[in-house]
Amino acid sequence: MAKKAQKDVSVTSDNSPQQKEPRSMSPFGDFERLMESFFDRGLMPSKRWEHPLWERFAAFEKGVPKVDVVDRDSEVLVRAEVPGFDNKELDVSVTDGAVTIKGEHGEETREEEGQYFHSEITRNAFTRTVALPSEVDADKASASFKNGILELTLPKLKKANRRKVEVK
């Protein structure tokens, strides 16, 4: 039986005879190129997933806030980004080795005008548990919340004995 020769075929746009770059067969790729042609990159950031601003917002869209843990000599500082939440909608619990942050936010909007009626219900909830680098005194923990940033200060049970090590 004879083998048939296979050819790789790339689809190119007929708009320009100079264009050599193959065009995507994906309708999503075509749509993205169309949108980028409407919105110049100088006026609006690119809609690509790898854009730095998108990464910051996309992380919370998935329901998990970004958390920083800072290990200091006498305390552990935990900062969490929880935009759109109020301090009354957050629940924080601390154990010797972990912090759990829970949040639940709900909104309902109603609009009635003559025969027009519009109602939307939005619910957002998350739970995030973070391991701590050392044991902390949960009874002396304190928390503050400002501009969508939750900050926990957790005193350590045993102060770290840090010393400088010379690099040779």
**Structure tokens that stand for 20 in this block:** 């050599």
Rounded distance, CA 135 to CA 138, Å? Answer: 9
Contact 47, 37 (CB under 8 A): no
Rounded distance, CA 73 to CA 134, Å? Answer: 11
Predicted confidence (pLDDT) at residue 96 exceeds the cutoff of 90: no
**Structure tokens that stand for 73 in this block:** 């000599």
* Domains of the chain and any CATH numbers: 27-59 (no CATH), 65-155 (2.60.40.790)
Predicted confidence (pLDDT) at residue 99 exceeds the cutoff of 50: yes
Identify the CA nearest to 83 among candidates 24, 148, 37: 148
pTM above 0.75, yes or no: no
Average pLDDT over residues 144-157: 93
Determine the pLDDT at residue 68.
94
Specify the 3-state DSSP secondary structure of 125. Answer: strand
Mean pLDDT score of the chain, rounded to an integer? Answer: 76
Poorest-pLDDT segment among 15-29, 30-44, 147-161: 15-29
Determine the pLDDT at residue 112.
87
Q: Which residues contact 3 (CB under 8 A, 6 or more apart)?
A: none
Specify the 3-state DSSP secondary structure of 93. Answer: strand
Position 57 confidence tier, pLDDT thresholds 50, 70, 90: low
